[in-house]
């Protein structure tokens, strides 16, 4: 999943269509071109659907995508002003907010937990049978102090094991199957399509990372900075309306996701038809996001209470 079949775009300040004439033609939008950072993962399926089906165009928006290596890179570009929005995992964004890296606004939810979509795996001949056997074992996570690590810690605690930071090893998702097979790590916190890849090699799931305290946990959403949200309120509202239409479609029809995944990831149609997918929430919920903050505080990821409500951009009036 190294690249999207989309064109990487330049900075967001190159938009010349937000002149007075362009604004009048687009219903008064302050800006009509948006540069959005994307990652080639199932999480962003609704965005691709909204592009492919012309939902953004119908709102007067030209959405250009820029592929980034991960949410942290997207946030860096967002703070640098070269993009307008990015997909961001809630845990990483909440950490950045607490550290004062920036002030962020979530515009829309994108992806949430579902059974089988986030798991802990071992290779086929591993003696590890469950999360209770992970004491002192090396565990691959794609990034330290993110959703993969925290949910692994939660499942270990449920199994009576206290995780330590030195147990976790950073590995990119595509490298995790090989790391398991060659013994670099004992277990890996994996997502699709790599769960399917490792399963085909005989790998075993020892725990669903999104069970018990993490069941239905929000994972990632679309965010911008507070300053961009304040500067372009009509533009952000148009983005929310267009993406909302796609999110509703995807939430109610898995086939739409299966059809679109091969267009922007390296997941082929056959794999798309069998992989486990997370959920596609249709609204931002303060209550749901507060669950993430509460878990982060419990596991010492956050030291303070975050005002979740202040980080949510209200949806446009109907």
The answer for residues whose C-beta is within 8 angstroms of residue 141's C-beta and 6 or more apart is 148, 149, 152, 168, 169, 170, 171, 188, 189
Which pLDDT score, from 0 to 100, does residue 71 have? Answer: 83
The residue from 179, 214, 249 where one domain ends is: 214
Task: Kindly provide the residue ranges of all beta strands, DSSP E only, lying in the chain, ordered along the sequence.
Answer: 33-38, 62-67, 85-89, 104-112, 118-122, 139-141, 168-170, 187-191, 204-208, 218-225
How do residues 166-194 score in pLDDT, each as one tens digit? 999 999 899 999 999 999 999 999 999 99
Q: Is the pLDDT of residue 121 over 80?
A: yes
Whether 163 is covered by a domain: the verdict is yes
Between vectors from CA 171 to CA 148 and to CA 87, what angle results, nearest 5°? 55
How do residues 28-69 score in pLDDT, each as one tens digit? 999 999 999 998 889 999 999 999 999 999 999 999 999 998
End-to-end CA distance of the chain: 37
Residue whose pair of structure tokens reads 């002003």 in the numeric block = 81
Whether residues 105 and 130 fall in one domain: no
Average pLDDT over residues 208-224: 97
Q: Is the pLDDT of residue 8 over 90?
A: no
Q: Is the pLDDT of residue 163 over 60?
A: yes
Which pLDDT score, from 0 to 100, does residue 72 have? Answer: 84
Task: Kindly provide the residue ranges of all beta strands, DSSP E only, lying in 195-283, ordered along the sequence.
Answer: 204-208, 218-225
Whether residues 94 and 58 fall in one domain: yes
Smallest Cα–Cα separation from 108: which of 87, 92, 93? 87
The answer to whether 128 touches 274, Cβ cutoff 8 Å, is no
Whether residues 102 and 241 fall in one domain: yes
Whether residues 160 and 286 fall in one domain: no
Whether 88 is covered by a domain: the verdict is yes
Whether 262 is covered by a domain: the verdict is yes
Whether 1 is covered by a domain: the verdict is no
Total of domains in the chain? 2
Whether 30 is covered by a domain: the verdict is yes
Whether residues 103 and 156 fall in one domain: no
Which pLDDT score, from 0 to 100, does residue 14 have? Answer: 36
Whether residues 224 and 108 fall in one domain: yes
Rounded-to-integer distance, Cα 248 and Cα 229, Å: 23
Residue whose pair of structure tokens reads 């606004």 in the numeric block = 105
| Lowest-confidence region among 17-26, 122-131, 167-176 | 17-26
Whether 299 is covered by a domain: the verdict is yes
Whether 260 is covered by a domain: the verdict is yes
CATH number at residue 243: 3.40.190.10
Whether residues 157 and 238 fall in one domain: no
Whether 2 is covered by a domain: the verdict is no
Whether residues 222 and 202 fall in one domain: no
Q: Is the pLDDT of residue 10 over 90?
A: no
Domain extent, residue 168, equals 118-214
Whether residues 108 and 239 fall in one domain: yes
Which tokens is 82 given? Answer: 């070269």
**CA 284, 286, 288, 294 torsion: positive or negative?**
positive
The answer for residues whose C-beta is within 8 angstroms of residue 31's C-beta and 6 or more apart is 15, 17, 18, 84, 232, 235
The answer to whether 128 touches 186, Cβ cutoff 8 Å, is yes
Q: How far is CA 149 from CA 6, 46, 204, 209, in A?
A: 30, 26, 19, 10
How do residues 84-110 score in pLDDT, each as one tens digit? 999 999 999 999 999 999 999 999 999
């Amino acid at each position: 999943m190294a690249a999207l079949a989309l064109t990487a775009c330049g900075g967001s300040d190159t938009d010349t269509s937000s002149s007075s004439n362009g604004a009048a033609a687009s219903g008064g939008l302050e800006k009509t071109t948006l540069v959005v950072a994307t990652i080639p993962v199932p999480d962003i399926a609704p965005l691709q659907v909204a592009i492919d089906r012309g939902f953004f165009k119908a709102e007067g928006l030209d959405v250009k995508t820029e592929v980034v290596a991960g949410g942290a890179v997207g946030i860096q570009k967002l703070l640098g002003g070269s993009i307008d929005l990015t997909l961001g995992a809630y845990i990483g964004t909440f950490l950045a907010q607490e550290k004062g890296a920036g002030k962020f606004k979530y515009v829309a939810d994108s992806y949430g937990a579902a059974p089988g979509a986030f798991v802990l795996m071992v290779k086929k001949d591993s003696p590890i049978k469950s999360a209770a056997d992970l004491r002192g074992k090396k565990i691959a996570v794609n990034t330290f102090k993110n959703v993969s690590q925290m949910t692994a810690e939660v499942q270990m605690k449920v199994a009576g094991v206290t995780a330590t930071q030195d147990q976790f090893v950073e590995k990119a998702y595509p490298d995790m199957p090989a790391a398991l097979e060659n013994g670099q790590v004992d277990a890996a916190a994996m997502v699709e399509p790599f769960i399917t890849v490792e399963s085909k090699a005989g790998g075993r799931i020892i725990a669903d990372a999104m069970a018990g305290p993490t069941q239905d946990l929000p994972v990632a959403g679309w965010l911008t900075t507070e300053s961009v949200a304040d500067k372009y309120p009509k533009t952000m509202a148009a983005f929310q309306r267009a993406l909302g239409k796609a999110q509703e479609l995807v939430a109610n029809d898995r086939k739409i996701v299966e059809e679109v995944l091969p267009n922007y990831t390296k997941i082929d149609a056959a794999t798309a038809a069998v992989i486990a997918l997370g959920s596609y929430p249709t609204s931002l919920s303060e209550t749901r996001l507060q669950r993430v903050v509460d878990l982060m505080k419990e596991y010492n990821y956050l030291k303070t209470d975050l005002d979740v409500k202040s980080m949510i951009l209200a949806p446009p009036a109907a």
